[in-house]
């Protein structure tokens, strides 16, 4: 029997599309509702209290409307701060996004890794905990960059962005004491994999960039392994929480991931 309930993916903006890309690869038939809280964007400069008050209520309302089978918080900031609150508030499986410190530590040869996220994410005790558990023998440097989040949004809208701005985000990590040893960078904000090619291009030396998207997709596949999917592809929905200028390049990025309907809710 076919089951039309969608997967709901959530982010403050377009960042979660990097997670959706991996989900599409693994579960091409899955109906998708992608919720972008552009009305609350950006999250990375907000307080813990603001995020934990906003996200569970917002997801509760969208879950009532779209009846998903599972929710994915495709946002490191919201996950590291509000995952437990969302799980407590909703009677649905909720998958979170964890900074990929473990795979980064596994791949680093120099034993020095960088964590590039939002200001809010990099100050979370959750990051201390992951570093202690999985990268105890590594130097772990962190940098929060609201600028890089804005650059990723601009790039998807099709606006021109400068190499210097991308280089500045990387310098925030690489110019710290010990930063010259970094060989692996955790993209601990879902916006950043969308512009990983730009980061690689301006990097002063070859760096490995690691993110958690493929792992999240595998987790979703495991949690839904006994469930049916529709036999034909259903129209994906992009939901925005505030009026948005969907430029042709943004529309194309959404459509490339099957998000051809746009709701304002
Ligand atoms: N994409 C989000 C993250 O993964 C946050 C971007 C923002 O709104 O600051 O952290």
All residue ranges of the chain with pLDDT < 50 are none
Q: 21-73 pLDDT, tens per residue?
A: 999 999 999 999 999 999 999 999 999 999 999 999 999 999 999 999 999 99
Check pocket membership of 76 for ligand 1, CB cut-off 6 A. Answer: yes
pLDDT at 33: 98
pLDDT at 2: 85
pLDDT at 235: 96
Task: Say how many Å lie between the CA of residue 126 and the centre of ligand 1.
Answer: 16
Ligand 1 atom with the shortest distance to the CA of 190: 4
Q: What is the model's pTM?
A: 0.97
Ligand 1 atom with the shortest distance to the CA of 189: 4
First to last CA, the chain: 30
Distance CA 52, CA 56 (A): 7
Check pocket membership of 18 for ligand 1, CB cut-off 6 A. Answer: no
Task: Say how many Å lie between the CA of residue 176 and the centre of ligand 1.
Answer: 23
Check pocket membership of 77 for ligand 1, CB cut-off 6 A. Answer: yes
pLDDT at 1: 72
Q: Which of 15, 95, 143 to mutate to test the pocket of ligand 1 (most atoms within 8 A of CB)?
A: 15
Other C-beta atoms lying within 10 Å of the C-beta of residue 133 = 11
Residue 160: which residues within 8 A CB-CB, separation 6 or more? none
CA distance to 7, 58, 131, 171, 246, per residue, from 222 (Å): 13, 26, 26, 38, 33
Distance CA 62, CA 59 (A): 5
Check pocket membership of 44 for ligand 1, CB cut-off 6 A. Answer: yes
Distance CA 236, CA 96 (A): 21
Mind telling me the catalytic residues? 75, 189
Distance CA 129, CA 181 (A): 22
Distance CA 69, CA 138 (A): 39
């Amino acid at each position: 029997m076919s089951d039309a309930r969608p997967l709901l993916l959530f982010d403050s903006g377009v960042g979660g599309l990097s997670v959706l890309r991996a989900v599409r690869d693994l579960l091409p038939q899955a109906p998708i509702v992608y919720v972008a809280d552009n009305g609350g964007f950006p999250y990375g400069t907000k307080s813990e209290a603001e995020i934990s008050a906003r996200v569970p209520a917002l997801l509760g309302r969208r879950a009532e409307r779209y009846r998903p089978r599972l929710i994915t918080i495709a946002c490191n900031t919201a996950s590291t701060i509000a995952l437990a609150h969302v799980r407590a508030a909703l009677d649905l499986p909720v998958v979170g996004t964890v900074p990929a410190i473990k795979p980064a530590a596994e791949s680093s040869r120099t034993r020095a890794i960088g964590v590039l996220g939002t200001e809010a994410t990099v100050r979370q005790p959750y990051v201390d905990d992951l570093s202690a558990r999985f990268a105890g023998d590594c130097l772990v440097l962190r940098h929060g960059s609201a600028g890089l989040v804005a650059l990723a949004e601009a790039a998807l809208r099709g606006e021109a962005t400068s190499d210097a701005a991308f280089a500045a985000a990387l310098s925030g990590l690489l110019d710290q004491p010990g930063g010259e040893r970094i060989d692996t960078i955790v993209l601990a904000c879902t916006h950043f994999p969308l512009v990983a090619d730009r980061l690689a291009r301006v990097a002063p030396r070859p760096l490995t960039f690691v993110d958690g998207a493929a792992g999240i997709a595998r987790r979703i596949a495991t949690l839904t392994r006994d469930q049916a999917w529709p036999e034909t592809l259903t129209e994906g929905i992009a939901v925005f929480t505030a009026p948005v200028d969907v430029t042709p390049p943004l529309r194309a990025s959404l459509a490339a991931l099957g998000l051809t309907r746009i709701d304002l809710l």
